[in-house]
Every structure is written in C-alpha cells, then in structure tokens.
Chain A
C-alpha cells in the first residue's frame, strides 16, 4: 500500500468544468466552420493581408516589449526606491484598462491634437498599430519577468559581484540566463496579447487593408456580411495562438532542465 498523495477529487471536478468552460466555445466555433470553403475563405487577399500584418506588427510589438520591459522588470525587482509600489501599479494599468480607453489615451498623447502636438505623425499608419499593441502587451512581460526575478533571488548575483564581476557582466552572465524561461514565456504572452489587440488599434490606428487592419479587425468587419469568413478567420487566429503557445512551451521546457540541474548542482555543492 502506498500513501495516497494528491488533491481532493472535487478540486479535479471543478478544474474539469473550468477546462470545458474554455474549450467548449472553441469546439462549438470549429463546428460552425464551413469546411469545404475554408481554404478560399482564409486565403482571400484581405484575409492574407490581415494575417501577415498581424504577425508583423505583433513581432515588432514583442521586440519593443523586450527592449523596454526587461529593464523595467529588473528595476522593479532589484532597485528599491520610494514609490515603487505606485510605479508598479501604473505599469500594470494597461492590463486592467479597457483597450478602447487605452486607445483614447494614446490618441491624447500621440494624436494630431495630442500632448505631443502631432510631432509624431503616426495616425492611420502601421507604427500606430505597433504602439497600440506594445502599450497593451508590455505589462505581461514586466509582470512575469519581475515575478521570476524575485523568486530567483539575488544569491548568485551577490556571489558573482563578490568575485569581481561588474554589474553589466552580472546582468548578462547571471541574472538574465537565470530568468530566461520567464523572458521567453513573458514574450509569448506579450505576443499573444498583441495578436489579439483590437480596441486600442480600432480607436487609435484606424482600419485599412494591409496598413492598419489586423486580423481581429478583419474578423470584426467580415462578421458584418460574411459570418462564414469571420468564423474561418477566427479559427486561423486560434490556430496561430495555439502554435505560438506550443512553440513557447517547448522552448521554455527546453531551457528549464539546464537551470534546474545547475540549481541542483549548486545545492549539492553547498551541502
């Protein structure tokens, strides 16, 4: 007889309901797809343009999130300063703001009559889409990376510093490699959020085929008079999202063992 480990059965049941809650609507949507016409529906020029634009802008937005978000997370996790709590709350704002509000805020800054006085003429252009996506996606990267940095602790960094490593060396040789899985998963979350961005883009960037009409905007428009195309495109978006998550998961898993074994190694030596 072995000891029964594990969780109460009712937890499993509720979890199963939660899983169905997420999966059933997607299955229902897949059942609605007009399969014989699926390929023609998703390969129409406007659909292809929208998909390519979405992938391009989401990648750029993810890159922008990395450039801005990694330093933000490091500062929030490692630099104690007064008001850091307020700063953290503000950084997370785009996460809780309705996207349309985000779009209005972006307009108020970058718009022609905005605070910058139209110095940055981005309205109705692809950069406006990237700005909107970066704005809503940034908190995802900062949030997940900051958490990882905190739980990783500063032990190794302290050791490296005592051994004479300069701060930049510590950052690139110790800190970032330690949280690489979090950087990858944070980037994926940001990419996914950018891919799904709708409200801020609609408010701030406009909607023109190949320039600002991303996949979610195209789906919203197609739904007006071609629901079949809208459903087919929605499925494409779901497929892209699943592919991204799968790739990310694979990449994250690939990175993890090394860190774990390094950890175990250190622990073994410490013991």
Chain B
C-alpha cells in the first residue's frame, strides 16, 4: 500500500520518457529539408535539396519544372509537398522546414507574409481563370453560366471557404447569376471528380483543370470568368535551409522556362 504512489510515479515517468523517445524518433525522420552538403557542386553554386511547398493545382507543372531544374543544375534536388494552400500556410507557420512556397491565391500568400514565414516580397508567376467543365457529350446541354442556375442541372462547385469557391462566388456576383449547386466540395479536385464520373452535369473548376483532364471533360464558353482572375504568387521561405537554391528555383519558375511549362498547362501570364 505504501509503495503505491512511488510505483505510480515511476510508471508515469517511464511512460512519459517512452513517448518522448517516440516523438524524437518521429521528428528525426520527418525533416526532408535537410540539405545534403555531400552533393556535387555545380558551377552556379545551386546545390543540395530544395524543398518546395506548392498548391495542389501546381502538381503537374511544378513536378515537370522540378525535373527540368535538376537537369539545368546538376547537384540540386527538388522535393515537393503539394497540398491545399491554406494547409501549407499552417504547416509553414507551425515551423515546417521548406525553402519555397507557391500559393494558389493571394489571400494565402498574404497570410504567410503576415505570419512572417516568407522572405522578401512574393512574386506573381501565373494566373488562372474559372471554367465550366461538363461530362463528355454535355448530357445536360449546358450552353453557358446562366444555365447552371437551373435546378434541373446538377451543378457542383467549390465551397466558398476554399479559393476556387471564393472565386466562383465572385463570378456569381459580377454576373448576377445565383447558382443552385447540389454539392459544395472542399477541393477543386473533388469537383472535377464529380464531373469526370458523370455524377454532376456541370462543375466550376479552373481552366487548367479542364486542360489537365484531357478528354474526360469538355468545357463550355464562360466569358464571365475573365473578370475574376486568380493570381499565383511564389516566395522564398524566411527560414529556408537552402536559401540560395530557393532563390534559384523561384527565378526559374518566374523565368522563360517556367513561363513555357505553365502556359502549356493552361496558366495565364501574370
């Protein structure tokens, strides 16, 4: 009976230290940004691993740009973390090690700048406009944005809380059309999925999504979208472990090579 409190304390401390060990082990293997100094030096001094946090909508283009960048800078390695821009900002604010941050909208880049996790001022490198995606053959015969207000057309949009939904709400307002969506998804990928699977008659996505989906969707003329242009900014991260590499990658994306790859994917010039 007497030994009980002491035993409990011993058990508790053993438990705590075991958890600390696990935590240490986990944090040890989750720092992808650690640059590799053993990598061979290239002539321009851009070496090591460059960790890029980029918006999910940049997955295809940035992966390609990364490969080209590595070819142009032997000794450099680009690793990506693609996620929703707001997720990336919260990760950066929480201290995630990254060198570059590319956001799908200015609101999230502003959040990052306000949180002082960026270095220097962000550069706009691409634009994207909304598009109406319909399944092949356009089964509901959608001819334009106004048709989507009809309850007989199953329209899927992004929720207003996410960037594509905010842009959709803006277009609705400027065009004077009130949509009656059957679903407000949390990501543009989910909207596109509902259209490619044929569940929805129409979905509001980005022009680049329509282009990326190939023959899985068709698009319908959407002149009202031209007034609401979404701008993509990119910035070096304040605590970048590889600041030189980060600056080189930002320059590459905003330069001619980046421009060409982005344009081919349907992005507009900033």
What is A's interface to B at a CB cutoff of 8 Å? 9, 12-13, 16-17, 20-21, 24, 107, 111-113, 123-124, 202-203, 206-209, 212-213, 217, 220-222, 224-227
Contact = CB atoms under 8 A, between A and B. Distances in A.
Nearest to B193: A203
Contacts of B184: 207-209, 213
Given A24-B19, A220-B186, A113 B12 contact: no
Contacts of B159: 207, 221, 224
Interface string B62-101: 0000000000000000000000101000100000000000
Interface string B168-211: 00000000000001111110001001100111100000000000
A226 B16 CA distance: 32
A112 B201 CA distance: 11
B59 interface: no
A209 B160 CA distance: 12
A208 B154 CA distance: 13
A266 B118 CA distance: 75
Given A13-B11, A13-B15, A221 B183 contact: no
A1 B154 CA distance: 77
B142 to A, nearest CB: 16
Interface string B228-268: 00000000000000000000000000000000000000000
Interface of B: 11-12, 14-16, 18-19, 84, 86, 90, 154, 156, 159, 161-162, 181-186, 190, 193-194, 197-200
Contact of A124 (B14, B86, B183): B183
A111 B190 contact: no
A229 to B, nearest CB: 10
B15 A206 contact: no
B86 A207 contact: no
Nearest to B111: A225
Nearest to A128: B199
Given A202-B190, A207-B186, A221-B186, A111 B161 contact: no
Contacts of B162: 221, 224
Given A16-B11, A206-B185, A224 B86 contact: yes
Given A206-B194, A208-B181, A124 B154 contact: yes
B11 A113 contact: no
B2 to A, nearest CB: 16
A16 B12 contact: yes
Contact of A224 (B84, B181, B193, B198): B84
11 contacts: A13-B11, A17-B14, A113-B197, A123-B199, A202-B185, A206-B156, A206-B199, A221-B159, A221-B186, A224-B84, A224-B159
